[in-house]
Amino acid sequence: AETGGHCGASTCVHWGLLRGGTYLNPLSLLPPWLLGRGPSRLLPVLTG
């Protein structure tokens, strides 16, 4: 694993889009209203 990235001591999830042998921008999958709103955060799922 790479060290010294922007995640610091935290864990990051990075996602990509591969069509055939070509990498594409995964943001192209998102609707326009979600773009330009800053970074997304995954929240814990609370059960009980």
> What's the pLDDT at 5?
67
Q: What digits encode the pLDDT tens for the residues 15-24? A: 788 899 999 9
Q: Tell me the C-alpha distance between 46 and 48, whole Å.
A: 7
Q: What digits encode the pLDDT tens for the residues 7-16? A: 777 777 777 8
Chain mean position to CA 12: 8
Residues facing residue 23 across a β-bridge = 18
Burial pattern 25-42, b for ≥16 Cβ within 10 A else e, equals: eeeeeeeeeeeeeeeeee
**Residue 31 belongs to what H/E stretch?**
none
Where do the domains of the chain lie? 1-29
